[in-house]
Amino acid sequence: MTPILEVQGISKFFGSVNALQDISLAVQAGQVTCVLGDNGAGKSTLIKILSGVFGPDKGDFLVDGSPTRFASPRDARSAGIATVYQDLAMVPLMSVWRNFFLGSEPTKGWGPFRRFDVATAKRLTSTELKAMGIDVRDPDQTVGTLSGGERQSVAIARAIHFGARLLILDEPTSALGVKQAGVVLRRIAQAREQGLGVIFITHNPHHAYPVGDRFVVLKRGKSLGNFARSEIERDELVRLMAGGAELDELSHELERPV
């Protein structure tokens, strides 16, 4: 099956800084690819390339098997690639239903009397969120009053509703507590079951392992490996991320005589 999105050997330079070097990954429908890396690994550059903010300087960028160049994130969106940023692209002071349809408001009527179909917007939001297992206590409550996990869920629900085939999630669990992170991981699994592809970017291997089908580990712009789930154990993943050998050395140093 052709991957929805694939990059082969891409690199990106900012001036003399080599932010990404020779990175390859692919995502199929119904599959979750986790991109792991500590801070400074190049994750945000990668996500910008995947979501259409800018293109790679070297290497191939393929959508459904054909080479593509996105002019803007809006282009990526039209191709069915939706990116959910850490800041969620949600406006905290606005209600859930206003946020849900922001930029894609349903309308009724013609010309100067063309109005925002508020009734439909509220109804659809309610339905979609219920379907995702989110109970919205009050249709008018603002996004700012939702918990972190709920906000992420709404963002994901929104992306799916507007026809995303591929979700790129930028550190969705990083600011959440354990329980909330669990909520989000469930959503990711749910999305996979619905047949979407997911790229899950995180620095937390404990979150990535339960839901990932493939794992790409980045370190300082380079790839440390691209593993299928069957090829790697969780502890090995943790070690790889934390810089395996270095951590062993460090723990020796830090060891206290009992």
Partner 1 sequence: MTTRQTEITAAGPDERLARTSGLTRALRRPAFGALLGAVVVFVLFAVTDQQGLWLTQTGFESWAQQASFYGIMAVPVGLLMIGGEFDLSTGGMTGFTAIITALLISKLGWNAWVAIAVTFVVAGLVGLLNGYVVVKSKLPSFIVTLATYFVVRGLSIGGVLLVNNGQSSISVATGTHSGLASAKAVFGSSFGKSTALPNGYSTEILWFVAVTVVATWILARTRYGNWVTASGGDQDAARNVGVPVQRTKISLFVMTSLATALVGVISFTQTSNAVAEQGVGNEFYFIIAAVAGGCLLTGGYGSVVGAALGACIIGMALEGVIYAGWDSSWDFTFLGAILFLAVGVNTIIYRRAMRARR
Distance CA 241, CA 217 (A): 7
Answer yes or no whether residue 103 interacts with partner 1 by CB under 8 A.
Answer: yes
Regarding 107 and contact with partner 1 (CB under 8 A), the answer is yes
Alpha-carbon gap, residue 75 to 95, rounded angstroms: 27
Residue 123 has which token pair?
Answer: 């109804």
> Residue 127 interacts with partner 1 (CB under 8 A)?
no
- Write the interaction track for partner 1 spanning residues 136-175; mark x where CB under 8 A is met and - where it is not: -xx-xx---x-x-xx-------------------------
Task: List the structure tokens of 95.
Answer: 């209600």
Tell me whether residue 88 or residue 217 sits nearer to partner 1 (CB atom).
Answer: 88
Which residue do the tokens 């270095």 mark?
246
Cite the DSSP H helix spans in 41-117. Answer: 43-51, 73-78, 96-100
Per-residue CA distances from 95 to 71, 100, 145 (Å): 31, 9, 9
**Count of residues of this chain found to bind partner 1 when the rule CB under 8 A is applied:** 44
Q: Which is nearer to partner 1, 8 or 190 (CB)?
A: 190
- Identity of residue 187: R
Amino acid of residue 150: E
The nearer residue to partner 1, 55 or 182, going by C-beta atoms, is 182
Please, which residue, 21 or 153, has the CB nearer to partner 1? Answer: 153
Residues 54-83 that bind partner 1 (CB under 8 A): 73-74, 77
Paired tokens of 109 = 């009527």
Taking CB under 8 A as the rule, does residue 101 contact partner 1? yes
Of 57 and 105, nearer to partner 1 (C-beta) is 105
Query: Min. distance of Cβ 195 from partner 1 in angstroms?
Result: 16
By the 8 A CB rule, do 229 and 48 touch? no
Q: Is the dihedral of CA 93, 98, 99, 104 positive or negative?
A: negative
**Shortest distance, CB of residue 177 to partner 1, whole angstroms?**
12
**CA 138/CA 129 separation, integer angstroms:** 12
List residues binding partner 1 (CB under 8 A). 73-74, 77, 85, 87-94, 98, 101-105, 107, 114-116, 118, 130-135, 137-138, 140-141, 145, 147, 149-150, 179, 182-183, 186-187, 189-190
